[in-house]
């Protein structure tokens, strides 16, 4: 369960205050919007328990050129795809994919595509010109989340890198914590400050974390794929760009 549904940016805004008040009300404490030391300790303990239950670990994907926390306790994988990697569990109704595309379609056009496919009901969207976007939407009772960045590797053309999450209509309430945790741990550049774990035990081997870790450049192992077929609804594409992605939860 989570009381906050947004990017964790370190700032105390309206969303943070509302989340604190919900937490205080749930534990029967005065609703002030300011955590006491006792409340902060309880919140941290509960968060650690839930992160452990979800098996949340940082995964650096050298195919997609991104790094993000993955709830490995709920999904199996990864399985390599032409655009990145794929984690999936039919039993748990959860699908996670990393994404890497070229820029044959403009970033804004791709954003609009994600908004409109399958007549999605968009709950939250934020688009920053030629930089990044986030979308949270619903298709019936199923939920989809997408994060994408524009990345310009040294001496190479710009690329679009990100990830998507699919949650079935039967998802448990605990899944509410997965999107903000993944959104906040995601990076497509050299920023390590939001890593989901103290060291990256999944995907690649890294030395133990230090107090001020050096920048990490994600070295990609293959080229970005074309997004044109996916944009047109053709071919083998990520679930978040497929006209009938619910079919992914019907696999054996």
Mean pLDDT over 38-54 rounds to: 79
> Could you tell me if 169 and 239 lie in one domain?
yes
Average pLDDT, the chain: 80
Asked if residue 118 has pLDDT above 70, the reply is: yes
Tokens for 9, please give them: 């940016």
Residues 15, 80, single domain; the answer is no
pLDDT at 98 (0 to 100):
95
In terms of domains, do 108 and 169 share one?
A: yes
- Tell me if 212 is assigned to some domain: no
pLDDT score, position 208:
40
Assess whether 44 and 143 both reside in one domain.
no
Domain that holds residue 34: 1-54
Same domain, 83 and 113: yes
Q: Are residues 3 and 93 in the same domain?
A: no
Please check whether residue 61 is in contact with residue 220, taking contact to mean a CB–CB distance below 8 angstroms: no
For the question of whether the overall pTM of this predicted structure is more than 0.75, the answer is yes
pLDDT (tens digit, 9 = 90+) per residue, 62-117? Answer: 889 999 999 999 999 999 999 999 999 988 999 999 999 999 999 999 999 999 88
Based on the domain organization, do 35 and 93 belong to the same domain?
A: no
Query: Left, alpha or beta for 236 (phi > 0: left; psi -120 to 50: alpha)?
Result: beta
Q: Structure tokens of 77? A: 């994988």
Residues 81 and 14 in one domain: no
Q: What is the CATH number of the domain that holds 154?
A: 3.40.1000.10
d(CA 251, CA 235): 18
Please check whether residues 76 and 42 belong to one and the same domain: no
**CA-CA distance, 67 to 165, in Å (whole number)?**
15
pLDDT at 69: 92
- Number of folded domains in the chain? 2
Same domain assignment for residues 12 and 48: yes
What is the pLDDT confidence band of residue 13, given thresholds at 50, 70 and 90? low
In a domain, 133, yes or no: yes
């Amino acid at each position: 369960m989570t009381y906050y549904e947004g990017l964790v940016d370190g700032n105390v805004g309206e969303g943070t205050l509302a989340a604190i008040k919900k937490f205080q009300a749930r534990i029967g404490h005065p609703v002030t919007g300011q955590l006491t030391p006792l409340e902060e300790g309880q919140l941290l303990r509960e968060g650690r328990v839930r992160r452990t239950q979800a098996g949340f670990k940082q995964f650096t994907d050298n195919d997609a050129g991104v790094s993000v926390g993955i709830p490995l306790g709920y999904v199996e994988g990864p399985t390599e795809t032409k655009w990145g990697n794929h984690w999936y569990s039919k039993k748990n109704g959860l699908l996670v994919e990393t994404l890497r595309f070229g820029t044959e379609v403009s970033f804004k056009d791709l954003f609009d595509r994600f908004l409109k496919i399958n007549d999605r009901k968009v709950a939250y969207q934020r688009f920053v010109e030629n930089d990044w976007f986030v979308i949270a939407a619903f298709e019936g009772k199923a939920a989809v989340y997408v994060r994408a960045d524009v990345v310009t590797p040294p001496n190479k053309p710009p690329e679009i890198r990100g990830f998507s999450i699919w949650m079935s209509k039967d998802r448990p309430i605990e899944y509410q914590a997965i999107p903000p945790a993944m959104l906040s741990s995601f990076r497509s550049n050299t920023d390590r400050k939001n890593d989901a774990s103290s060291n990256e035990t999944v995907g690649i081997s890294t030395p133990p974390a230090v107090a001020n870790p050096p920048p990490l450049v994600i070295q990609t192992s293959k080229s970005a794929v074309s997004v044109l077929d996916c944009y047109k609804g053709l071919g083998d594409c990520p679930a978040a760009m497929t006209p009938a992605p619910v079919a992914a939860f019907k696999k054996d």
